[in-house]
Amino acid sequence: MTHGNLLTDNPELYEARFPDAERLAGRWAEDCLRRHGAGPRVLDMGCGTGRDAAHLHDAGRTVTGADLSEAMLAHAGQRHPGPTYVRADLHGFDLGRAAFDAVVCLDSSLLYCHTNAQLDGFLTSCRQALAPGGLLVAEMRNGAYFLGRSDLLDTPTVNAFTWQGTAHRSTTTLTVDRTAQLLRRTRVWTSDDGTTPVEQRSAWRLLFPLELRHVLTTHGFEVLELHDGPGPRTEPLWREGQLPRLSTDADRLHVVARLTSAR
């Protein structure tokens, strides 16, 4: 295979493998923005395919979608027009001071901040990008969920699918790096087109609810909501009108925070 990451190198495949036909993630984000009275200017950091950014645009917002992947940005511009798409690194970005009323960061994009310095860089950038009273809305894996859940780790799981006439197979193993506080994923791709198997490694920060609350507070945010669902990737799924629980026990973490002191 010539690709390093079959899914993010092929945004069409990404959308096919992780469908969100009902635009639940975008709808959930819009619901958070509306409930907390956010202004119209939204930055979607780690926008990926652009489907959530486009939903927010269709809901009447002025949206900028930002991502590091050129492939994702090209796909977003073609398939999900409306927002402005720009290349930016969530570890540190400058898209204008007080240029946004909200930053959204969906599907664990925030957890690409692996180190404390990267997390500080992200929140410092958000603080500069947001107007006073601006919101941060994020949805991600819950690090706390992995405490005592060794059944999820160290055992390979296999997934097979056919895309554009080629049968692909991925073998995925999750491990916890306790020192770095990272969930590491090793995925080996094989396919029936005779190409050499490729090993792809990814990692997400294991961020704990109280740690997230603390770092947000330190960066001048007031935490309005911090909970494990219902949300766009919970079981059962979030439905319009449902309010958040108070617990942070299940596998997804959702946060809404307001910037109370600008820099």
Interacting residues with ligand SAM (CB under 6 A): 8, 25, 46, 48-49, 51-52, 67-69, 72, 89-91, 106-109, 112
Residue nearest to ligand SAM (CB): 48
Per-residue tokens: 15: 């959308």
Closest approach of ligand SAM to the CB of residue 73, in Å: 9
- Residue burial 125-149, b: 16+ Cβ < 10 Å; e: rest: bbbbbbbeebbbbbbbbbbbbbeee
**6 residue type, one letter:** L
Positive or negative, the CA dihedral 137, 140, 143, 145 is: positive
The residues pairing with 100 across neighbouring beta strands, listed in sequence order, are 130
Closest approach of ligand SAM to the CB of residue 64, in Å: 13
Burial class (CB in 10 A: 0-12, 13-18, 19+), 197: exposed
Nearer to ligand SAM, 78 or 217 (CB): 78
Nearer to ligand SAM, 111 or 144 (CB): 111
Nearer to ligand SAM, 89 or 225 (CB): 89
Q: How far is CA 6 from CA 91, 153, 169, 196, in A?
A: 24, 22, 11, 13
Nearer to ligand SAM, 10 or 132 (CB): 10
Closest approach of ligand SAM to the CB of residue 188, in Å: 20
Closest approach of ligand SAM to the CB of residue 70, in Å: 9
Closest approach of ligand SAM to the CB of residue 261, in Å: 25
The residues pairing with 64 across neighbouring beta strands, listed in sequence order, are 43, 84
Nearer to ligand SAM, 53 or 165 (CB): 53
